[in-house]
Amino acid sequence: MSNLRPRKNVDNGKAVESTESDYIDTDDGILEKRKVNLSETIASGSKRTPAVLEKFVQSLPEKGKVWVVRGISAIIMFSLLGLVIYGGPLTMLITIMVVQVKAFSEIINIGYAVYRAHGLPWFRSLSWYFLITSDYFFYGEFLIDSFGVALSRTDFLQFLVTYHKLISLTLYLVGFVWFVLSLVKRYYLRQFALFFWTHITLLIVVSIAHAFIQNLFEGIIWFIVPILMVCCNDLMAYVFGKLYGKTPLIQLSPKKTWEGFIGAGISTIIFGMIISHIFCNYKYFVCPVQYDEAEDRMTLECQPGEMFVPKEYNLPQFLSNISKLFGFGDSIVLYPFVLHSFFLSVFSSVIGPFGGFFASGFKRAFKIKDFGDAIPGHGGIMDRLDCMLLMALFVNVYFKTFLNHDTVQKMFHQIHNLNAEQQLQLYRMLQESLQNKHLL
Amino acid sequence: MSNLRPRKNVDNGKAVESTESDYIDTDDGILEKRKVNLSETIASGSKRTPAVLEKFVQSLPEKGKVWVVRGISAIIMFSLLGLVIYGGPLTMLITIMVVQVKAFSEIINIGYAVYRAHGLPWFRSLSWYFLITSDYFFYGEFLIDSFGVALSRTDFLQFLVTYHKLISLTLYLVGFVWFVLSLVKRYYLRQFALFFWTHITLLIVVSIAHAFIQNLFEGIIWFIVPILMVCCNDLMAYVFGKLYGKTPLIQLSPKKTWEGFIGAGISTIIFGMIISHIFCNYKYFVCPVQYDEAEDRMTLECQPGEMFVPKEYNLPQFLSNISKLFGFGDSIVLYPFVLHSFFLSVFSSVIGPFGGFFASGFKRAFKIKDFGDAIPGHGGIMDRLDCMLLMALFVNVYFKTFLNHDTVQKMFHQIHNLNAEQQLQLYRMLQESLQNKHLL
C-alpha cells in the first residue's frame, strides 16, 4: 500500500497532475466517483418531460406524473407504429434505418462519455463512417439477395451488384487505414477502446436492424407480431409483478419477480395467438414484400402460403375430452402460423427478457440510468429495444429454418447473377439430379 | 485539483483502500504504472529462448544471439509450413484450427491481464464456450456450402444441416444467458469489458481463420501465395530499411521507413509473380479441394481453370519496344493467375502492413511487447499473423468477386438442400428464363 499518494502523469516529459475524473476504471467501486459525471453527460430520458407535457401534468402528484408521461409516450409510440405499418414496407424500412441511427448514436455517445473522447482525433467521423460502410455492405447484400434480378437492369446497378463485396471491403479498409493513421501516442488506449466500442455497437445495432428488415420482407406479420409480443411481455411482467410479485427473479434487476415473469409468459402466449390469428386474415400482413417488375414497385400481393391457410387439427386426447365436455368437437381449425406463434411467444417470454437483463447490467456497469432521452418517461431508444434484440434474431433464424417460403425466389436471384455459361451448367446439373431421382 | 488524495473504494459498505494496480485507466500516462504488471503477466516471446537453443547460441554476442534464434525459428516455421502443405488439405485445416485456438488464447489472455479477471466467475469457460459456438456456426456453414450433398447422406448429418442456424443460435444463447446469470454486482464493469473483449477477439480470430479456410479450399495456391507474399514483404521491409532506410514512415512504428516500404513492395511484386508462376504448374496447388463421393475422400484433381492455363498476351507499345530491343517478340505467354497475383502483392505491400501497424498500436496501447511467447525470437502467434489479417480477407473477397469458379458447385449444394418440390419449381423457373434468353 506504499503507493497511496497523488499520482503524477508524465506527458512529454512534463509532469501533469491528474484528477480522479481522468480515469475510467474497471473496478465498480472506483467508478462510483464517476457516476455523477456520466449521468450528467448522458441525457437520461425517464426523468425528462417536454414543456408541453410538463404543463399538462403539473397538477398531478410526482408519482402519478411519471406514469401519465410514460403512458402518453406509450400511446404516441403505438400510434406511430400503427402509422408506419399503414405506410407500407418502404416506410417501415426507413423507420428501421432511422431507429438504427438513433440507437447507434446512443451507444456511441456512452462510449464517448466513458472514454472522454473529446480530444481524440477523428473519433466522431470514424464511428459514423464505420456505420455507413457496415450498412452499405449488409443492406447491399440484402437487396442483391432479394431483388437481384430487378437490380441488374441498369449497367450502373449491375456494376454495384457484381463488385459489392469488393467495394464494401475497400470502404471498410479506408476506415481502417484512416484509424491507424489517426493514432496519436498520447491517446492510444482510448482510441483503441473506442474503435472496439464502435465495432461492438455495429455488431449489435446493424445485425439487429438487418434481422428486422429481413423479417419484415418475409411478410409484415413476422415483423409486427414479435414486436407486439415483446411489448405485451414487458407490460404484463410489470402488471403481474405489481399485483402478485413476491419472489425475486434475478439479482441484476431487483424489481423483477417470478410472479411477473410467469404471468407475463402466459399472457404473452395467449395474446400472441390472438393477434396472430387476427393478422393471418389479411394478405397485407402475410405476403412477403416482392418487387413487381411490370409495375416497378413493391407489392404485397400473393397466394398466401400454407401457413396462412386455415387447417383442421385433431386435438390430443385430454384436450379433446375437455372440448367435448363443453359440447365442441374433437378437432380445431387454426392457421398453422398461430401454432408457430406459440414458439415465438415462449421465446419472447423466456429468453427475450435476458436481452433486457443484459442491457440493465450494461447500464449498471457504467452507472447510467438510461441509454438516452429520446422517449419521455421511457429513456432512450435502446431502453425500449433491449428485449427486441434476441427476439429479432430468433425470429429470423426460426423462419429461415422452418418456413423459408421464398428460398426458391432468392436462389433464382442468385442464379440470375451468374453468367450465361454458368447458368446453363447449373441447369444441366439440376436436370440430371432430378432425373436420377425420377422427379422429372 | 481538490481531490488529489488517496481514494477509498467502497465495497459492501466496508471502505477498502485501493492501490494503483487496482485500475486499468484509459489514459496512457496512467497506464505507465501498469506496464510492469502487464509485461510480467503476459509472456513475451522475443526475449525468451528455449534451453536447447540457449545452449547452442550461448557463445555468441547478445545482439547476434537474438538474430540466430530468430533465424532458426523462421527456418523451423517454414519447414513446418512445408510439411503442412505436403500433408494435404486436411492437415492444413487442422493446422489453421490449432493456430486459431492459440491466437485466441493470446488475445484473451491479454484481456484477462488487463482486467485482472482472476476473481470473475466463469470468465475462462465463457470465452472458450463462445469460441466453440462461433466455430461451430462458421465451419458448419462452410461445410454445408461446400459439401452439402455429401453431408446429406446420413440422417444425423442431414439433421445437423437442416437445423444448423437454429442449433448455432441456441448454443450462442445458452452462452449469453449463462453470462447474464454469472453477473455479480461487484464485477459488472469488468465482466462486460471481458464479454466485449471476447467478442472482438472472436470477430478477428474466427473471421480470419474462416477466410483462410475458404481460400485454401479454392485451391492451395490461394492459401500459400498470400502467406509467402506477406513473409517476403516483412523480410524485405527489414532488409531495405537496414540498408537504405532514412525517411520515417509512420509515427506508430518508428523503425519503419519509406525506403523499406517501397523496396519491400517492389520485391514482393517480383517474388509474388515468380512463386505464382511456379505453383501454377502443379494441379496440387491450383485445383479446388473437392469431395470425391465415389472414393469418400477429399481430392485435388481437376481440369485446371482458365486462370491456370498459359495464355498469350500482347505487350503494350512501350514494353513491346523494349522487348524487341532485346530480340524478343511483342507478346508474352503467362498464366493469367500471375497477373492476378500482381494485385494481391500490391495489396500485401500497401495495405497489408496496416494490419501490422494496427497490431503494434494495440500492443503499445496496452504497453506489452509481444502477444505471447509461442515462437522464440518472434513473440506470439499473433505477432506473426498481424499482417495476414487484412490479406486473408482481401484474397477471399478478391476471388469471390473475380474468379469464383465453383459458384456453380456451391449453388448446386444449396439447391440440393431444398425439398423435391422446391427443386422442381426452381428447375422450371430456370428453364423458362434460359428459354426466354434463347440459351436453351
- The pair phi, psi for residue B16, each rounded to 5°, is -115, 130
Give A324-348 pLDDT, tens digit per residue: 888 787 888 889 999 999 999 999 9
pLDDT, average across residues B5-32: 35
How many whole angstroms separate alpha carbon A421 and alpha carbon B95?
37
Contact A364 B188 (CB under 8 A): yes
How many whole angstroms separate alpha carbon B413 and alpha carbon B217?
15
pLDDT value at B406 more than 70 = no
The closest of B301, B239, B292 to B265, measured between CA atoms, is: B239
Give B153-193 pLDDT, tens digit per residue: 777 888 888 889 999 999 999 999 999 999 988 888 889 99
pLDDT tier, B262 (very low <50, low <70, confident <90, very high otherwise): very high
Contact A18 B30 (CB under 8 A): yes
Sequence-ordered strand ranges (E) for A188-339: 290-292, 297-299, 311-314, 331-334
Contact A180 B252 (CB under 8 A): yes
pTM metric for this prediction? 0.83
pLDDT value at A20 more than 60 = no
The residue type of B113 is: A
The closest of A240, A111, A347 to B173, measured between CA atoms, is: A347
pLDDT value at A126 more than 60 = yes
Give B129-144 pLDDT, tens digit per residue: 999 999 999 988 888 8
In chain A, the percentage of residues whose pLDDT exceeds 90 is 34
Chain A residues whose CB is inside 8 A of the B166 CB are 397-398, 401
Give A253-302 pLDDT, tens digit per residue: 888 899 999 999 999 999 999 999 999 998 899 888 877 767 777 778 88
Q: Which burial class, exposed, middle or buried, applies to B253 when counting CB atoms under 10 A from its CB (0-12, 13-18, 19+)?
A: middle
Residue whose grid cell is 479498409 = A173
Contacts of B101 (CB under 8 A, 6+ apart): B131
The residue type of A241 is: G
Q: Collapsing DSSP states into helix, strand and coil, what is residue B120?
A: coil
Residue predicted with more confidence, A83 or B321: A83
How many whole angstroms separate alpha carbon B418 and alpha carbon A410?
12
List C-alpha distances in Å: B361 to A195, A236, A312.
Answer: 12, 50, 65
pLDDT value at A153 more than 90 = no
Give A380-438 pLDDT, tens digit per residue: 888 888 888 899 999 999 988 887 655 677 778 778 777 788 888 889 888 988 888 88
Sequence-ordered strand ranges (E) for B133-235: none
pLDDT for the residue A44: 58
Residue whose grid cell is 412477403 = A288
The residue type of A392 is: A
Q: A379-390 as b/e, with b when 16 or more CB fall inside 10 Å? A: bbbbbbbbbbbb
Q: Collapsing DSSP states into helix, strand and coil, what is residue A313?
A: strand
Q: Quote the minimal CA–CA distance from A255 to chain B in Å.
A: 15
pLDDT for the residue A32: 38
The closest of A127, A297, A146, A168 to A213, measured between CA atoms, is: A146
pLDDT tier, A152 (very low <50, low <70, confident <90, very high otherwise): low
Torsion angle, alpha carbons of A294, A298, A302, A307, to 10: 150
pLDDT, average across residues A18-41: 41
How many whole angstroms separate alpha carbon B201 and alpha carbon B430?
43
Average pLDDT, chain B: 81
Q: Collapsing DSSP states into helix, strand and coil, what is residue B290?
A: strand
Residue whose grid cell is 426452381 = B426
pLDDT for the residue B40: 56
Q: Quote the minimal CA–CA distance from B73 to chain A in Å.
A: 29
How many whole angstroms separate alpha carbon B362 and alpha carbon B154?
47
Range in A79-83, A212-216, B10-14, B400-404 the model is least confident about: B10-14
- The pair phi, psi for residue B291, each rounded to 5°, is -100, 120
CA B219 from centroid of its chain's CA atoms = 17
The closest of A435, A409, A23, A394 to A222, measured between CA atoms, is: A394
**Interface residue of B188, B360, B440 to substitute, partner A, most A CBs within 10 Å:** B188
Q: Collapsing DSSP states into helix, strand and coil, what is residue B96?
A: helix
Closest residue, chain A, to B429 (C-alpha)? A412
